[in-house]
Chains A and B, each alone.
Chain A
Amino acid sequence: MEVAYYSPVSWEEAVKLLAEDADHSKILAGGTDLIIQLKQKNVKPAAIIDITRIPGIRDISVNSNEVCLGSAVTFTQVAEHKVLRGKVPVLTEAAEAVGSPQIRNRGTLGGNIANASPAADVVPALLALDTLVWVRSIRGERKLKLEDVLVAPGRTNLAADEVITKLSFQIPGENTKSAFVKLGRRNALAIARMNLALVVTFEAGTRITEKVVMALGAVGPTAYLYRGVHEALAGRQLTDEAIERAAVLTSEEVAARLGTRSTAHYKKEAVKGIVYEAFYRILHSEYGAQ
C-alpha cells in the first residue's frame, strides 16, 4: 500500500491532516529515527506528515529571559548557536553529543522528545532547564512540563493527534553554570551508556550553591530529574567533599532505580565519574557566571 506523504505549510493544516487518521499517521521532522523504523517495517503508517515546511518551525528566539525553540530546530542549529552556548552550555553540549554531524544536521529537538528514547542526549539537558513543551491538535494548544511528557521508552503523554510545536525555557541567571556529560563506548556515533545534565546556581560571587538541578539519562525507562543532590548541596560550599557527596548520592539513586538489572553493577559505579566530570566542567567553565 502506498503511503500518503503530506507537507503542510501551516499548523492548522498539519493538525487537521493528523486528526484525519491520527493512529495511522507519523510525524516526520528530521527523519533520522522514523526512516529507520520505516525500513525495518516497525511502523507502517498510512500517512507521513512532514512538518518541516511550516514557517517558523526552525526558529530559535532568545529574548532577555526566555529561549524559544521551534520543534524542528536541529541539533546542529543548537550546537552552533553562539548565544545559547554562552547562556546554556548544558544544551549546546548535549546537542553536540548527538550521534554524528550528519545526524545532528537532520535530527530535531521535537523528534528527540517525541521518540522518548531513554538514552536521548538532549532530553536531560532540556529537563534540567525546566523546559515547557508546546503541543497542538485540532482540539487546541496546550503546554506541558517536559518532565510530564516522558512516560516510558518510546512513549509520551501526548495524544496521537497532538504534535509538538515548540519548546521554551527561562534563561538561567548570571550566577548559573551548566554542563552536559555523556558516557559512551566511543567518542562519536555513540549511544549514551549514561548521560547527565547539570545546572548549578551559585550565590553571587561565591562557591556556595543556591540550586543544583541534575537530570539523568539512560538509567531507567525515561530521563528524569534527580533532586537528591540539590537537597544535600544547596546552601553549602561546592567543595571537593560536596562533589564526592553528590557522586555517592547519585550512585545510590542509580542503584535504586536500576535494581537488579544487569547494567546496575556498572552504572551505579560509573555514574560517579560523570558527576565528577560535570562539576569539573562547571568549576572550570569558560561560559556563564564566574
Chain B
Amino acid sequence: MSYKWVGKPIIRKDALDKATGRTKYMTDLEFRGMLWGKIVRAGIPHAKILEIDTTEAESCEGVVAVVTYKDVPGLNGYGIHIPDQPVFCQDKVRYEGDAVAGIVATSREIAEEAAAKVSIKYEQLPGVFDARQALADGAPKVHDNGNILLQTRVQIGDVDAAFQEADLIVETEYYTPVQFPVYLELEGGIGEYKDGSMTIWCGSQYPSQDQRQLSQVLSLPEEKIRIISNPVGGAFGGKDDLTIQAQLAVMAYKVGKPVKLVNSREESNKTSWKRHPMFITMKTAAKRDGTLLANKVEIISDTGAYAGLGGPVLTNTVGHACGSYRVPNIDLAGYCLYTNNSPCSAMRGFGVPQINFAMESQMEIIAEKLGMDPVEIRLRNSLVTGDKGPLGNTLPMTMGIVPTLLKAKESNLWLKRNDLKKQVSRPWKKRGVGIATSVKGVGLGKGIPDYSSVEITLTGTGEYVVSTGCPEIGQGNHIAFAQMAAEALQCPLNKVRIIQGDSSCTPDSGVTAASRTVYAVGNAILLAAKEIKRKIKQLAAEHWGVAVEELTLDEYKVCCKEKQVAISELAQLLEKQGITVKASSYFDMPVADKGIDGLHGLPHILFGATTQIALVEVDTKTGFVEVLESICIPDAGKIINLQGLEGQAEGGTVMGMGYAIMEKAEIKEGHVLTDNYDTYLIPTSLDTPDIAVHPVEELEETGPFGAKGIAESLCTTITSAVINAIYDAVGVRITHLPASLEEVLFGIKQGEV
C-alpha cells in the first residue's frame, strides 16, 4: 500500500517553537495579578496530626491565604483507581511528601518563607517501609483497612504436575528497585477560579480524567472545570494521575485569583509517581529441548502510601509474567502493598519492565543449563498469532516476537559478537553481548473502559481541525495524528491542525499512556475522517442538487462531472450559511475473548514487541559497566513516522539502560535521600551507547494503516539485554537491579573464590 503521508519522513510541527524557546509550557505561563502557591509537606513518613496552627503563617506580610483540609469543598481525596490520597491531610500523614497545608502569597519567596511557619503537631507512628514487612502480621497499618491494596492469583493448568515431569527447574529471586520518571518539566502550573468555573493549566496525560477528579474535589460540575495540559515537558506515566492539580485547585478556589504553583525538584523527587519496586520469585520448568512447561511466580509490589495505579500495575505485571512465551501451566500470585514510602503509580512499561527482567533472566539461565542458544530457546517458545496466551485467551492479532528475533539473529552485533568481545579497551576489562525480547500490551486491557473520541471540523479556510483529548507529552503523537488525518482525509498535511489536551474543546480520547494513542486515537481519526468526508460530499451534493454517488472527493476539491469546487471554497460557502461541517467518532479498543474473574486490565490481545541486543564492557576491577552498543528491533506494526519511532527507541534504550546499571534511589525510613539529580543519576550523553534501530513492520489489520503501539516495550527489553550481556562478560548473574559498581564487583569477587 502506498501512502502520501503515512510512513513518510515528516518533521514534527512543534519542533520549530521548541527549538526557538517560543513554546509555552504550562509552567512557563504567567498571569497579571497572579499569586504564588506553596505546599506545606509532612516531612515525616507516618504520624497522627494533633494540631495544625496556621496563624503565624497567615500573619506574614504578603500571605493571602493558608489552606488546609478545611478548605477542600468536596471530596478530600484523589487517585484514579481509589481516591485514598488526601488533598490536604486531616488526621494523619502517611509519607513524607503528604500535603498538609497550602500557602498562597504575593511572591514565591514569601510563600516559601510562610510555609516554614505553619506549625503542625504530630504524634509519630511506627512506619513500614518494606513491602514484605507490610504483608506481615502486626505490621503498622498505613490505612485503616490494612496494608494490602490488591492480592491476585491466576492459576491455569497444573504447575505441580509440570514440575514433576520437567527436565529442568530454575527458581530465582529477583528484586527491581523504584525508578523515578525524571521528566524535566517539574509538576506545576496555574489555577484560576473565576465566575464559578475553575481552569487549571498543568501538564497532564489525561485532562478528562483530571476534570472528573477535580469535579469531586471541588464539588463542581464537570463542565465548570477546564483542564489545559498541552504541551507537557515529559511525563513517562508520572503525569497520568494528578500531581499538584488538586492542591492548586483548592488554593485557587479559596482566593479567586490566578495562583501559580511549581514543585521544586526536591519536592518532585519525593512526591512524583514512580515505578513500583518489586520482589519477584520465579520458578520456571522446561523440557530438555527448551520447551517451557510451567511458571510459578510470586510478586510483591510496594505502592507506597497511596494506591495510585498500584492495583492495575500489579495486574499488568501478572498479565505479562510469562513474557513473550507459551507457558501451559501457570500459578501467578501477586500482592500490592501499602507502605510509608513515596507513592508509585504508572511509569512507562506499567509493571512490565520488572517482570520482563525476571522472565528474560530465567530464559538465559535455562538456555545455559540446557546448552541452548539464547535465540533458539526464545524462538522455540515465542507466541505467534492464533496461539493461546498463557492467560488462556486467544491471540488473534499480529505478534512480532519471532520476526524481531529472526532479525536480531542476522544483525552484525549478534553475528560478530565473538570478535567484538575480543576488542577490550584494557587488558582487565571484559566484554559481553546479551539479548532479550519483550512484549507489552497496547491499551488498558480487558475490563477497563478503553475508548477514544476524536472530532474533526472543517473551518471556513478549508482547514481540518482534528481535536483529541490526548496531550502531546513529547513522544510526537501530534505528528502521527496529523499524518494519519491527512492520509485519511486525502488532504495536504498543512491543511490539518491538531488540537490536544484542552477539556473545553477536545473530546475524551482516553489517556496518553499504555502505548495506545497511535492505535486508539488513530482509529478514531479514521472513523471521524470517513464521516466528515461523507458530510462534505452530502453538502456538495445538496449544493449542486445531485446525488452523492455522482461526486468524487480528492485532495483539494469536490467534483461532479465537469463541475468542481475547492474544499476551501465549499467550506467558506457553508460557513456563510452558518453550517459547520463537523464529525465525531468513538472507538472502542478491541478486547480479549476471555477474561479472568475479578481481575481488571487482563488480558491484552494487542502487543508491541521488541528484541534488543547490547554490547557491554565491564571493568573487572571496579565493577563499572559501560554499554557500548545496542541494536533495537521493534515491531510497532506500520510505522507512521520513522524518525518518531527511532526517537522513542533511542530514548527508551537509555531509560531502560539507566534502570539496569545506574538508577538507584536511596530511601531511608521513608525519606528520599536522592532528592535531586546530583544523587539520583540517569545516563548522560557520555554514558549512552551507539544505538541502531532496525524495525520490522508486521501490519496489524485492526490498526490505523496497520499500526500498533510501542513506546513502552522500547524501554523494557534493553534492561534484560544489558544484564544478560554482563553475565556473558563476567559470569555474574545480577538478580537485584541496578547492576551497580558494588553489585558487579562483589559478584566478580564471589565468582573468583
A183 and B662 in contact, given A188-B684, A189-B684, A277-B426 (Cβ under 8 angstroms) = no
- CB A275 to nearest CB in B, in angstroms, measures 9
Give bound CA distance, A185 to B674, whole Å: 14
* Cβ-defined partner of B622 (8 Å) among A191, A274, A280: A274
Within 8 Å CB of A190, what residues of B?
681
Contact status A270-B621, CB under 8 Å: yes
Interface size class of A (residues with CB under 8 A): 10 to 19
Across the interface, which residues of A come within 8 angstroms of B428, CB to CB? Answer: 273, 276
Residue B623 is within 8 A (CB to CB) of chain A in the complex? yes
**Does any Cβ of B come within 8 Å of A145's Cβ?**
no
Specify the chain A residue showing the minimal Cβ separation from B264. Answer: A39
Question: Contact at B684–A193, with CB atoms within 8 Å?
Answer: no
User: A240 to chain B: closest CB distance in Å?
Assistant: 10
Chain A residue numbers with a CB within 8 Å of B426 are: 276-277, 280
Asked if B624 CB lies within 8 Å of chain A CBs, one says: yes
The reply to whether A188 and B685 contact each other, CB–CB distance below 8 Å, is yes
A-contact 0/1 string along B39-70, CB 8 Å cutoff: 00000000000000000000000000000000
B564 within 8 A of A: no
Give which listed residue, A187, A272, A274, A280, contacts B686 with CB less than 8 A: A187
Rounded to whole Å, the gap between the CB of B359 and the closest CB of chain A is: 27
Q: Is A139 an interface residue (CB 8 A)?
A: no
- Contact pattern, A 186-229, Cβ under 8 Å of B = 1, otherwise 0: 11111101000000000000000000000000000000000000
Closest partner residue, chain B, to A269 (CB atom):
B745
Distance in Å: Cβ of B671 to nearest Cβ of chain A: 16
CA distance A189 to B686 in the complex (A): 10
Closest to B112 in A: A41
Q: How far is the CA of A180 from the CA of B491 in the complex (A)?
A: 61
- List residues of chain B with CB within 8 A of the CB of A193: 741
Give the number of residue pairs across the A-B interface with Cβ within 8 Å. Answer: 55
A188 and B662 in contact (CB under 8 A), knowing A269-B749, A273-B619, A273-B621? no
Partner of A186, one of B622, B623, B684: B684
* C-alpha gap A43/B117 in the complex (Å): 20
Mark out the residues of chain B between 228 and 255 whose CB falls within 8 Å of any chain A CB in the assembled complex: none
Query: Quick check: B741 and A185 within 8 Å, CB to CB?
Result: yes
Could you tell me the distance between the alpha carbons of A277 and B622 in the complex, rounded to whole angstroms? 10
Q: Give complex CA distance A185, B624 in Å.
A: 8
Q: Given the complex of chains A and B, what is the CA–CA distance between A160 and B127 in angstroms? A: 44
State how many residues of chain B have any CB contact under 8 Å with chain A.
24
Q: Are B623 and A270 in contact (CB under 8 A)?
A: yes
Bound state CA distance, A190 and B678, in angstroms?
7
Most A Cβ at <10 Å: residue of B622, B684, B686, B740: B622
CB-based contact B678/A183 at 8 Å: no
Contact B741 A186 (CB under 8 A): no
Q: With an 8 A cutoff between CB atoms, is B160 at the interface? A: no
Is the pair A272, B662 in contact by a Cβ cutoff of 8 Å? no
Tell me the complex Cα distance, A233–B620, Å: 24
Give Cα A280–Cα B427 distance, bound, in whole angstroms: 10
Within 8 A of B (CB), among A241-290: 266, 269-270, 272-274, 276-277, 280
Once A266-B741, A266-B742, A269-B749 are accepted as A-B contacts, the answer to whether A186 and B681 lie under 8 Å apart by CB is yes
A188: chain B residues within 8 A (beta carbon): 684-687
Separation in Å of the A248 CB from the closest CB of chain B?
A: 12
Q: Which residues of A contact B626 (CB under 8 A)?
A: 187
Q: Which of A185, A189, A270 contacts B745 (CB 8 A)?
A: A270
Inter-chain contacts of A269 with B (CB < 8 A): 621, 745, 749
Measured between C-beta atoms, what is the minimum distance from A131 to chain B in Å? 27
Do B619 and A187 touch (CB < 8 A)?
A: no
The binding surface of chain B is classed by DSSP as: loop
Contact of B683 among A100, A186, A191, A276 (CB under 8 A): A186
With A and B bound together, what is the CA distance between A283 and B620 in angstroms? Answer: 20
Closest A residue, CB atoms, query B626: A187
Q: B742 contacts A183, CB within 8 Å?
A: no
Cβ–Cβ contact B681 & A185, under 8 A: yes
Q: Are A273 and B622 in contact (CB under 8 A)?
A: yes
- Given known A188-B687, A191-B678, A273-B619, contact A183–B749 (CB-CB < 8 A): no
Complex Cα gap A273–B621 (Å):
5
The interface residues of chain B lying within 8 Å CB-to-CB of A272 are 621
Residues of A within 8 A of B683 (CB): 186
Distance of A280 Cα from B683 Cα, bound (Å): 27
Query: A100, A188, A273, A276: which has the most chain B beta carbons within 10 Å?
Result: A273
| A186-B662 in contact given A270-B622, A272-B621, A273-B619 (Cβ < 8 Å) | yes
Evaluate contact between B684 and A187: CB separation under 8 angstroms: yes
Question: CB-CB < 8 A to A185: which residues of B?
Answer: 662, 681, 740-741
Q: What CA separation (Å) do A190 and B624 show in the bound complex?
A: 13
| Cβ-defined contact, A183 with B624, below 8 A | yes
Write out, one digit per residue, whether chain B residues 368-389 have a CB within 8 A of any chain A CB (1) or not (0). Answer: 0000000000000000000000
Which A residues, 97 to 121, have Cβ-Cβ distances below 8 Å to chain B? 100
Residue of B nearest to A191 (CB): B678
| Alpha-carbon distance between A188 and B624 when the two chains are bound, in angstroms | 14
A187 CB contacts on chain B under 8 angstroms: 626, 684, 686-687
Give A100 to B742 CA distance when docked, in angstroms: 24
Contacts of B678 in A (CB 8 A): 189, 191
| Set of chain A residues within 8 Å of B749, measured between Cβ atoms | 269
Docked Cα-Cα span, A274 to B742, in Å, equals 15
| Closest partner residue, chain B, to A270 (CB atom) | B622
Q: How far is the CA of A280 from the CA of B426 in the complex (A)?
A: 8
Cα A193 to Cα B677 in complex, Å, equals 16
| B residues in contact with A266, CB < 8 Å | 623, 741-742, 745-746
CA distance A189 to B683 in the complex (A): 10
A41-77 near B? 1/0 per residue, CB < 8 Å: 0000000000000000000000000000000000000
CA distance A274 to B745 in the complex (A): 13
Q: Which residue of the partner chain A has the closest CB to B622?
A: A273
Chain A residues within an 8 Å CB radius of B745:
266, 269-270
Residues of B within 8 A of A274 (CB): 622
CA distance A273 to B618 in the complex (A): 12
Closest chain B residue to A263, Cβ basis: B742
Which residues does chain A contribute within 8 Å of B623, judged by CB atoms? 266, 270
Measured in the bound complex, the distance between the Cα atoms of B623 and A274 in whole Å is 11
- List residues of chain A with CB within 8 A of the CB of B746: 266
Inter-chain contact A270/B741, CB cutoff 8 Å? yes
A277 to B685, CA, bound (A): 23
* CB nearest to B742 among chain A residues: A266
CA of A187 to CA of B628, assembled, Å: 13
Nearest A residue (CB) for B266: A40
Contacts of A273 in B (CB 8 A): 428, 619-622, 624
Tell me the smallest distance from the CB of A79 to a CB of chain B, in Å: 15
Q: In the assembled complex, how far is the CB of residue B482 from the closest CB belonging to chain A, in whole angstroms?
A: 36
A185 to B743, CA, bound (A): 12
CB distance from A100 to the nearest CB of B (A): 8
Question: Measured between C-beta atoms, what is the minimum distance from B683 to chain A in Å?
Answer: 7
Q: How far is the CB of B133 from chain A (nearest CB, A)?
A: 22
Per the 8 Å Cβ criterion, residues 696-753 of B in contact with A are 740-742, 745-746, 749
Instruction: Give the CA-CA distance A93 to B686 in the complex, in Å.
Output: 16
Q: Which of A185, A191, A269, A280 has the most CB of B within 10 A?
A: A185
CA distance A188 to B746 in the complex (A): 24
Other CB < 8 Å A-B pairs besides A188-B684, A191-B678, A273-B619, 16 of them?
A185-B741, A187-B626, A187-B686, A266-B623, A266-B741, A266-B742, A266-B745, A269-B621, A269-B745, A269-B749, A270-B622, A270-B745, A273-B428, A276-B621, A277-B426, A280-B426
Q: Which residues in A have some Cβ–Cβ distance to B below 8 Å?
A: 100, 183, 185-191, 193, 266, 269-270, 272-274, 276-277, 280
Closest 7 A/B residue pairs (Cβ): A273-B621, A273-B622, A187-B686, A188-B684, A270-B622, A188-B686, A266-B742
Residues of B at the A interface (CB closer than 8 Å) are 426, 428, 619-624, 626, 662, 677-678, 681, 683-687, 740-742, 745-746, 749
Pairs A–B under 8 Å by Cβ, sample size 22: A100-B684, A183-B741, A185-B662, A186-B683, A186-B686, A187-B684, A187-B687, A188-B684, A188-B685, A188-B686, A189-B678, A189-B684, A266-B742, A266-B746, A269-B745, A270-B621, A270-B745, A273-B428, A273-B619, A273-B620, A273-B624, A274-B622
